[in-house]
Amino acid sequence: MISWRVWVCCATLTSPNSINYSVPELYIGLMSGTSLDGIDGVVVDFSLAEPILVARHYAAFDDALRTELLALHQPVHNELHRMQLAGNQLARHYAATVNTLLLQSDNVKITAMGCHGQTIRHCPASGYSLQIGNAALLAELTGITVVSDFRNRDIAAGGQGAPLVPAFHDKVMRHPLIHRVIVNIGGIANLTNLPPQAATSGFDCGPGNLLMDAWCLQHLGKPYDDHGAWAASGTVLPALLEKMLSEPFFALPPPKSSGRDLFNSNWLSEKLHRDEKPEDVQATLLELTCISIANAIRQYCGSNTEVYLCGGGAHNQTLQRRLAANLPESTIQTTDVLGVNGDYLEAVAFAWLAQQALHRQPANLPLVTGATHPCVLGAIYPV
Domain definitions of the chain by residue range = 16-161+343-381, 174-338
Phi, psi for residue 322 in degrees, rounded to 5: -70, -35
Same topology for domains 16-161+343-381 and 174-338, yes or no?
Answer: yes
Please report the pLDDT score of residue 225 as a whole number: 97
Query: Buried b / exposed e across 292-308, counting CB within 10 Å, b at 16+?
Result: bbbbbbeebbeebebbb
Peptide bond into 196 cis (omega under 30): no
Rounded-to-integer distance, Cα 219 and Cα 122, Å:
28
Helix (H) or strand (E) holding 132: strand 128-132
Question: Any idea which architecture 16-161+343-381 has in CATH?
Answer: 2-Layer Sandwich (3.30)
For 174-338, which CATH superfamily applies?
Answer: ATPase, nucleotide binding domain (3.30.420.40)
Rounded-to-integer distance, Cα 349 and Cα 177, Å:
24
Rounded-to-integer distance, Cα 81 and Cα 288, Å:
36
In the predicted structure, residue 260 carries a pLDDT above the cut 80: yes
Rounded-to-integer distance, Cα 374 and Cα 364, Å:
6
pLDDT-based confidence at residue 107 (cuts at 50, 70, 90): confident
pLDDT digits (tens, 9 = 90+) for 64-95: 999 999 999 999 999 999 999 999 999 999 99
pLDDT digits (tens, 9 = 90+) for 47-57: 998 999 999 99
Judged by average pLDDT, the poorest of 2-6, 102-106, 175-179, 233-237 is: 2-6
What is the average pLDDT across 325-342?
A: 94
Rounded-to-integer distance, Cα 283 and Cα 347, Å:
30
Residues 6+ apart with CB under 8 A from 167: 200, 363, 364, 365, 368
Please report the pLDDT score of residue 56 as a whole number: 97
In the chain, pLDDT over 70 holds for what percent of residues? Answer: 94
